[in-house]
Amino acid sequence: MREILLGGAVLLLDGAPRTGSAGLIASAASRVLGLAPSDLVVTHSCSRCGSDDHGRPRVRVDNAASDTCAVSYAASSGYAIAAARAGDALGVDIESIAAVSAHQVDDVLLHPAERKALLGLTGAERDRHRARLWVAKEAVAKLTGAGLRMDVRDIRVRVDDDCADAAWPAGFGQHQGARVYYFAASAEVIGALAVPGGAEAGRLMPADASAAGAASGRTATPG
Ligand SMILES: CC(C)(COP(=O)(O)OP(=O)(O)OC[C@H]1O[C@@H](n2cnc3c(N)ncnc32)[C@H](O)[C@@H]1OP(=O)(O)O)[C@@H](O)C(=O)NCCC(=O)NCCS
């Protein structure tokens, strides 16, 4: 188990996950709250159907009604990651660089401007950039609580070394911009943490913000 401190959050990276998400989420939250994991109850909250057995994870102290801190979780390629931070929202994702490129789904993941920028890159640099765009978008989708009910092409990401800015259309969650922090689980598996704010939404979301959705004829449903 590795602890990563990033963007004001505590991340716990498990390289041999055997159980579900609740234990790792409680452990990450316990480090933010100064409580024992056993004092915490992990549930979920689906912004679509209201169910508490799937959707965005939540943590509260046993017998208390309100959430304690924001948490997020992802598992992929033999790793699980849980993130916790004071505040109302965050999102985390982790993916294999090779797996993202193998899927060949640029048309459904990327904004036309992001696809154009990828064309200027080659080989490993292109694969790495594509994976960075993807983990950032999925982390943002979790931050909003909408998940992949958002059209992720409408999440605009501008990568800047080990960080990125992201912005998305109004109607998804309480925020419209995020700062994204990248981390490496291994040379081949990268992750992203998205926390609210940081994005210069006006610059990232120009008047063509809905171009991707309009081009596909698809309209995203706000979460
Ligand atoms: C969230 C989502 C992007 C995760 O993608 P994934 O690549 O399959 O899985 P990951 O390992 O990256 O993440 C899984 C974790 O995301 C979290 N998660 C699930 N839905 C979430 C949401 N709406 N917002 C934030 N986090 C969410 C959960 O913690 C989940 O793990 P857990 O259920 O074991 O606790 C995708 O599953 C999704 O969009 N789900 C929502 C679909 C939906 O709204 N359905 C309507 C049901 S009524």
Q: Where residue 3 falls among pLDDT bands split at 50, 70, 90?
A: very high
- pLDDT above 90: percentage of residues in the chain: 74
Give the C-alpha separation, 80 to 77, whole Å. Answer: 8
Question: What pLDDT, on a 0 to 100 scale, did the predictor assign at position 150?
Answer: 93
Q: Where residue 65 falls among pLDDT bands split at 50, 70, 90?
A: confident
Question: What pLDDT, on a 0 to 100 scale, did the predictor assign at position 16?
Answer: 87
Ligand 1 centre to CA of 44 (Å) is: 10
Q: Is residue 71 predicted with pLDDT exceeding 70?
A: yes
27 token code pair: 């452990």
**Nearest atom (ligand 1) to Cα of 144:** 24
CB 12 within 8 A of CB 25: no
Average pLDDT over residues 11-27: 93
Question: What pLDDT, on a 0 to 100 scale, did the predictor assign at position 103?
Answer: 87
Q: Is residue 17 predicted with pLDDT exceeding 50?
A: yes
Q: Closest by alpha carbon to 199, among 182, 176, 183, 181?
A: 176
Provide Rg for the chain, Cα atoms.
17
Question: What pLDDT, on a 0 to 100 scale, did the predictor assign at position 208?
Answer: 52
Residue 13, domain CATH: 3.90.470.20
Question: What pLDDT, on a 0 to 100 scale, did the predictor assign at position 66?
Answer: 76
The per-residue pLDDT for range 156-214, each reduced to its tens digit, is 999 988 899 999 999 998 899 999 999 999 999 999 999 998 655 556 766 554 444 44
Range of the domain at 39: 2-216
Question: What pLDDT, on a 0 to 100 scale, did the predictor assign at position 222?
Answer: 37
Ligand 1 centre to CA of 194 (Å) is: 15
Please check whether residue 222 lies inside any domain of the structure.
no
Q: Where residue 68 falls among pLDDT bands split at 50, 70, 90?
A: confident
Give the chain's domain count: 1
Q: Closest by alpha carbon to 153, among 72, 96, 208?
A: 208
Q: Count the residues in the chain.
A: 223
Supply the DSSP string of the chain, one letter for each residue.
Answer: -EEEEETTEEEEEESS--S-HHHHHHHHHHHHHTS-GGGEEEEEE-TTT--SSSSEEEEEETT--S--SEEEEEEETTEEEEEEESSS--EEEEEEHHHHHHH--HHHHS-HHHHHHHHT--HHHHHHHHHHHHHHHHHHHHHHS-GGGS-GGGSEEEEETTEEEEE--TTSSS-SEEEEEEEESSSSEEEEEEEES---HHHHS-TTTTHHHHHHT--PPP-
**Nearest atom (ligand 1) to Cα of 42:** 35
The per-residue pLDDT for range 107-163, each reduced to its tens digit, is 999 999 999 999 999 999 999 999 999 999 999 999 999 999 999 999 999 998 889
- Residue 203 is which amino acid? R
Please check whether residue 112 lies inside any domain of the structure.
yes
CB 87 within 8 A of CB 70: yes
Q: Candidates 73, 76, 79: which one to mutate for ligand 1, based on the most atoms within 8 Å of Cβ?
A: 73
Q: How many CB atoms lie within 10 A of CB 162?
A: 12
Please check whether residue 75 lies inside any domain of the structure.
yes
pLDDT mean across residues, the chain: 88
Please check whether residue 78 lies inside any domain of the structure.
yes
Which range has the worst mean pLDDT, 89-93, 101-105, 123-127?
101-105
Average pLDDT over residues 5-26: 94
Ligand 1 centre to CA of 3 (Å) is: 22
Ligand 1 centre to CA of 168 (Å) is: 18
Give the C-alpha separation, 116 to 136, whole Å. Answer: 18
Please check whether residue 221 lies inside any domain of the structure.
no
Question: What pLDDT, on a 0 to 100 scale, did the predictor assign at position 121?
Answer: 95
Higher pLDDT, 88 or 25: 25
- Residue 92 is which amino acid? V
